[in-house]
Amino acid sequence: MKFVLFALTLAAILPAADLDRDSLDDATEQALLEEFLPRFYLSKGECDLAPAEFDPRSAEPRLLARNGVIYGQAFPVSFAGGNPPR
Protein backbone atom coordinates (compact mmCIF):
# COMPACT_ATOMS: atom_id res chain seq x y z
CA MET A 1 0.00 0.00 0.00
CA LYS A 2 2.91 2.37 0.64
CA PHE A 3 4.00 1.98 -2.97
CA VAL A 4 0.59 3.07 -4.29
CA LEU A 5 0.55 6.15 -2.07
CA PHE A 6 4.08 7.00 -3.15
CA ALA A 7 3.15 6.65 -6.84
CA LEU A 8 0.12 8.89 -6.37
CA THR A 9 2.30 11.47 -4.62
CA LEU A 10 4.81 11.45 -7.48
CA ALA A 11 2.04 11.86 -10.05
CA ALA A 12 0.80 14.93 -8.19
CA ILE A 13 4.31 16.46 -8.04
CA LEU A 14 5.69 15.66 -11.51
CA PRO A 15 4.36 17.72 -14.42
CA ALA A 16 2.60 15.81 -17.20
CA ALA A 17 4.78 15.08 -20.23
CA ASP A 18 4.18 17.25 -23.31
CA LEU A 19 6.95 16.13 -25.63
CA ASP A 20 5.58 17.95 -28.70
CA ARG A 21 5.02 21.14 -26.66
CA ASP A 22 1.52 21.81 -27.96
CA SER A 23 0.03 22.54 -24.50
CA LEU A 24 -1.78 19.16 -24.31
CA ASP A 25 -0.08 16.55 -22.17
CA ASP A 26 0.80 13.34 -23.98
CA ALA A 27 -1.61 11.21 -21.91
CA THR A 28 -4.53 13.46 -22.93
CA GLU A 29 -3.52 13.25 -26.61
CA GLN A 30 -3.36 9.45 -26.39
CA ALA A 31 -6.76 9.29 -24.67
CA LEU A 32 -8.33 11.45 -27.40
CA LEU A 33 -6.82 9.30 -30.16
CA GLU A 34 -8.11 6.13 -28.46
CA GLU A 35 -11.55 7.63 -27.79
CA PHE A 36 -12.20 8.84 -31.33
CA LEU A 37 -10.13 6.13 -33.09
CA PRO A 38 -9.19 7.97 -36.28
CA ARG A 39 -9.14 5.90 -39.47
CA PHE A 40 -7.29 6.47 -42.67
CA TYR A 41 -6.18 4.46 -45.64
CA LEU A 42 -2.82 4.22 -47.37
CA SER A 43 -2.11 3.03 -50.86
CA LYS A 44 0.92 0.85 -51.55
CA GLY A 45 2.87 3.78 -53.00
CA GLU A 46 2.47 6.13 -50.04
CA CYS A 47 5.08 4.60 -47.74
CA ASP A 48 8.50 3.10 -48.10
CA LEU A 49 7.33 -0.52 -47.72
CA ALA A 50 5.36 0.12 -44.49
CA PRO A 51 4.72 2.90 -42.00
CA ALA A 52 7.74 3.14 -39.74
CA GLU A 53 8.68 3.78 -36.15
CA PHE A 54 11.28 6.46 -35.49
CA ASP A 55 13.58 7.07 -32.52
CA PRO A 56 11.86 9.67 -30.30
CA ARG A 57 15.22 10.69 -28.78
CA SER A 58 16.72 11.76 -32.10
CA ALA A 59 16.37 15.33 -33.41
CA GLU A 60 16.72 13.99 -36.96
CA PRO A 61 14.36 11.22 -38.13
CA ARG A 62 16.13 7.91 -37.37
CA LEU A 63 14.35 4.75 -38.45
CA LEU A 64 13.90 2.09 -35.78
CA ALA A 65 11.68 -0.36 -37.70
CA ARG A 66 9.22 -0.62 -40.59
CA ASN A 67 6.61 -2.12 -38.30
CA GLY A 68 3.41 -0.33 -39.26
CA VAL A 69 3.53 2.30 -36.50
CA ILE A 70 1.24 5.24 -37.25
CA TYR A 71 1.69 8.46 -35.29
CA GLY A 72 -1.20 10.69 -34.28
CA GLN A 73 -1.45 14.10 -32.70
CA ALA A 74 -4.24 16.03 -31.02
CA PHE A 75 -3.92 19.77 -30.53
CA PRO A 76 -6.05 22.61 -29.18
CA VAL A 77 -7.94 24.76 -31.68
CA SER A 78 -9.13 28.31 -31.06
CA PHE A 79 -12.20 29.68 -32.81
CA ALA A 80 -13.09 33.34 -33.33
CA GLY A 81 -15.78 34.18 -30.79
CA GLY A 82 -15.04 30.97 -28.91
CA ASN A 83 -17.49 28.80 -30.88
CA PRO A 84 -16.75 26.41 -33.77
CA PRO A 85 -18.35 27.23 -37.15
CA ARG A 86 -21.60 25.46 -37.98
Mean pLDDT across the stretch 68-73? 81
**Per-residue pLDDT tens over the stretch 24-38:** 888 988 898 888 887
How far apart are alpha carbons 78 and 84 in whole angstroms?
8
**Per-residue pLDDT tens over the stretch 32-68:** 888 888 777 777 777 777 788 999 888 898 999 988 8
pLDDT at 48: 75
pLDDT at 12: 47
pLDDT of 83 > 50? The answer is yes
Among 65, 74, 71, 77, which Cα is nearest to 40's? 71
